[in-house]
């Protein structure tokens, strides 16, 4: 194993162990389920209100539960963070008429690091190309069964779930080769092919719900 990978895993896997969804958990949306709450308005950092229906492209929608501070999103000394891929994922999806939205469900941190003002600042600093919206009281996250930041849900043109889980396998303990789960799913769907891996364990910090 390469030194960088060892350092990366040493710094992230203990954190991931506390905050990830295991393969054995069956909560939340299952493959083939239709997206819930598709017509609920969610305010974006651009002060425009969006619905999932409005955000979906002709061939589907990718919902990414995200936030402003989780090291799995924003990065750390040994990991660039998955948000560095958000814009390129948006561009790849857009070529296939697939919409992308970032959703902040950290309701317990709404008065602090995940306030709308903090979201606006973070979106501007990162140059997000896609809408970044507030999920009030984590209602959408609850309906989806979303656990982590990030946590990916990819719906087809009928708003049926065709992939959910992680963006890639960067922090997987048994990683032997690169697996770009989400990009591969986008490519397969755009080409009318079956998605090879339709469900993977999401990796990240827990969504901060109000208890």
Run of H or E including 3: helix 3-19
CATH number reported for the structural domain that contains residue 187 in this entry:
3.40.30.10
Quick check: 63 pLDDT over 80?
A: yes
Structural domain including 132 reads 3-21+30-206
Residue 110 lies in a domain: yes
Whether residue 119 lies inside any domain: the answer is yes
Quick one: which H or E segment has residue 104?
Answer: strand 99-104
Encode pLDDT of 91-131 as tens digits.
999 999 999 999 999 999 999 999 999 999 999 999 999 99
Q: What mean pLDDT is predicted for residues 126-147? A: 98
Residue 26 pLDDT exceeds 60: no
**Angle formed by the axes of helices 86-95 and 181-190, to 10°?**
10
Kindly state whether residue 50 falls inside one of the protein's structural domains. Answer: yes
Q: Does residue 211 form part of some domain?
A: no
The total domain count for the chain is: 1
Is 69 within a domain?
Answer: yes
What pTM did the predictor assign?
0.88
Give me the phi and psi of 178, to 5 degrees please.
Answer: -70, 135
């Amino acid at each position: 194993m390469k030194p960088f990978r060892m350092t990366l895993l040493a710094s992230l896997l203990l954190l991931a162990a506390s905050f990830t969804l295991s393969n054995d958990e069956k909560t939340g949306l299952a493959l083939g389920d239709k997206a819930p709450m598709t017509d609920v308005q969610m305010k974006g950092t651009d002060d425009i209100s969006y619905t999932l229906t409005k955000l979906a492209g002709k061939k589907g929608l990718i919902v990414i539960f995200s936030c402003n501070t989780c090291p799995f999103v924003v990065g750390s000394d040994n990991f660039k963070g998955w948000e560095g891929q958000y814009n390129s994922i948006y561009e790849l999806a857009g070529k296939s008429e697939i919409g992308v939205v970032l959703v902040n469900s950290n309701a317990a941190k709404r008065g602090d690091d995940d306030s709308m003002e903090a979201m606006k600042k973070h979106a501007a600093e990162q140059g997000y190309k896609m809408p970044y919206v507030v999920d009030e009281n984590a209602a959408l996250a609850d309906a989806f069964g979303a656990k982590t930041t990030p946590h990916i849900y990819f719906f087809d043109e009928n708003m049926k779930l065709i992939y959910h889980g992680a963006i890639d396998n960067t922090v997987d303990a048994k990683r032997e080769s690169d697996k770009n789960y989400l990009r591969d799913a986008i490519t397969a769907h755009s080409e009318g092919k079956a998605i090879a891996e339709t469900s993977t364990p999401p990796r990240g910090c827990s969504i901060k719900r109000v208890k």
